[in-house]
A and B are shown apart, each in its own frame.
Chain A
Amino acid sequence: AQSVTQLGSHVSVSEGALVLLRCNYSSSVPPYLFWYVQYPNQGLQLLLKYTSAATLVKGINGFEAEFKKSETSFHLTKPSAHMSDAAEYFCAVSDQTGNQFYFGTGTSLTVIP
């Protein structure tokens, strides 16, 4: 069975500050992990994914995430927040077939000018 927990349903950061969005997963098989971003009234856009290659994954818009098996975590970071980063962020886990994704409940990121 697989599941994802996103700690903090709402995160606020100042423009230019570090962004850290937390994701912990549970998986009985080697997981594939994803971060998606959702802007208001839009679909989900893939930010980055981990598929058992390098544990530090770089994505679009300056985001990156590190897979830590010992901590069962896949936290999303960005060194300097931009106003345009304000959105809902979802972490997801799947098995290596990708046939079914399990999503976290999302973290809403607010960027304060």
Chain B
Amino acid sequence: NAGVMQNPRHLVRRRGQEARLRCSPMKGHSHVYWYRQLPEEGLKFMVYLQKENIIDESGMPKERFSAEFPKEGPSILRIQQVVRGDSAAYFCASSPGFTDQETQYFGPGTRLLVL
């Protein structure tokens, strides 16, 4: 059973460009979470999604950031008009939503560098 997949693993963007980060949850998992990790810091919650629904986006910046988890395909975290402060590691996690629902399984992360 493959784990949580994220791509790309590394992404370089210039200021003002768009960044798209993808996350495929573990097979059978219907809940997806996005976190951001700044250097020397812990992970900060951004958003929690189920298929076609945003459940909690209390950690998402109000502008430029959006997330989706369509019925088919991976979850996408989209950052428009990136700025240098967006440089960070972005981690996706998934959980099954039933048995063991309280445990989140993490992907390897996407490291975004904004030049």
Contact = CB atoms under 8 A, between A and B. Distances in A.
A84 interface: no
A100 B45 contact: yes
A96 interface: yes
Interface stretch (A12-20, A38-46, A54-62, A72-80): A38-46
Nearest to A49: B103
A104 to B, nearest CB: 5
**Number of contact residues on B: which range applies?**
20 to 34
A23 B95 CA distance: 24
Contacts of A43: 4, 6, 91, 106-109
A32 B35 CA distance: 18
B91 A44 contact: yes
A97 B42 contact: no
B102 A105 contact: no
B56 A103 contact: no
**Number of contact residues on A: which range applies?**
20 to 34
Interface of A: 32, 34, 36, 41-46, 49, 51, 90, 92, 94, 96-106
B63 interface: no
B41 A105 contact: yes
A96 B100 CA distance: 11
Given A100-B45, A100-B48, A46 B107 contact: no
A51 B95 CA distance: 15
A53 B33 CA distance: 25
A34 B43 contact: no
A106 to B, nearest CB: 5
